[in-house]
Amino acid sequence: MALALRWLRPLPSLLHRSSFLLTRGVPGAPTGSPALLLEGCRQCGRQMLLSRQLATKKAKGKGQSQAKVNISAALVEDIINLEETSEDMQAVVEALKEDFSRNISVRTSPGALDHITVMTKDGKFPLNQLGQISQKSPQLIVVNMSNFPESTAAAMKAIRESGMNLNPEVDGTMIRVPVPKVTREHRENLAKLAKQSTNKSKEALRKVRSKSISQVKKSKSKVSEDTIWLLEKQIQQMADEAVAEMDKLLAAKTKELLG
């Protein structure tokens, strides 16, 4: 015990000298080194925050399949605009909602035909820009093509191939569209169409995600691998949340169609 105390006795003075050296600088070091060190710390402040987030997420993620990442958009605004990425992804979800509401319904309405795309010799046009669409009875929709009679055949083909189980008939420049009965087969066809629309939306979402990740990777020479990893994980997380929302929309629409 006495021997141990003898060895520990010089320790306070050594600690004091170490503190003095850190404060005044090491002999031979350039003048102003502490100031340069302080400035360097300020410059890497953002990286320290991101690294701390990374360490926290990894610690919390031990024993878990996924760890939630939530980077402040302000910290990485010179790398990528996360808010814009989120808005682009949400726009894809909203477009799917609109498609479900407008085009995939048990009851066919005139509005369901509005945005059927017609291929003409002058290009692609929505059907409602080429013809006047009206409902003559609950069982019949009529498309008046008198303003663009040359596109009547193309419009009829587009209606038939719309996936809405419609069989139009031509009478001069008038296209008569019988509204199909709500059969089990018709409901199942609509459910398949909803699934196809969802898959197309997911593909559009993957393009948004890939574009954002590519933008992040361009900054590899300027930021750390940890920062890149965090950003890629957050972008993927945002995409997963959008996919989950799409799956809920599809489940609700399928239930509506099939009961």
pLDDT digits (tens, 9 = 90+) for 54-113: 544 444 444 444 567 777 677 677 788 889 999 999 999 999 998 888 778 776 666 778
User: CATH 3.30.1360.40 residue ranges in the chain?
Assistant: 110-178
Residue 19 vs residue 174, higher pLDDT? 174
- In the chain, the percentage of residues whose pLDDT exceeds 70 is 71
Q: Examine the pLDDT at 156 and tell me if it is beyond 80.
A: yes
Query: pTM for the complete prediction?
Result: 0.60
Residue 30 DSSP class: P
Pick the range with the lowest mean pLDDT from 83-92, 148-157, 184-193, 204-213: 184-193
152 by Cβ neighbours in 10 Å (0-12 / 13-18 / 19+) ranks as: buried
CATH of the domain spanning 110-178: 3.30.1360.40
Q: What angle do CA 154, 156, 157 make, to 5 degrees?
A: 65
Residue 51 CA, chain-centre distance (Å), reads: 25
Please name which of 119, 191, 193, 183 lies closest in space to residue 156, comparing C-alpha atoms: 119
Q: For the chain, give the mean pLDDT.
A: 78
* Residue pair 127/118 in contact by the 8 Å Cβ criterion: yes
> Regarding the domain delimited by 73-104+183-258, which CATH topology (the fold level of the hierarchy) does it fall under?
Topoisomerase I; Chain A, domain 4 (1.10.132)
Per residue in 4-25, pLDDT tens?
445 445 444 444 444 443 344 4
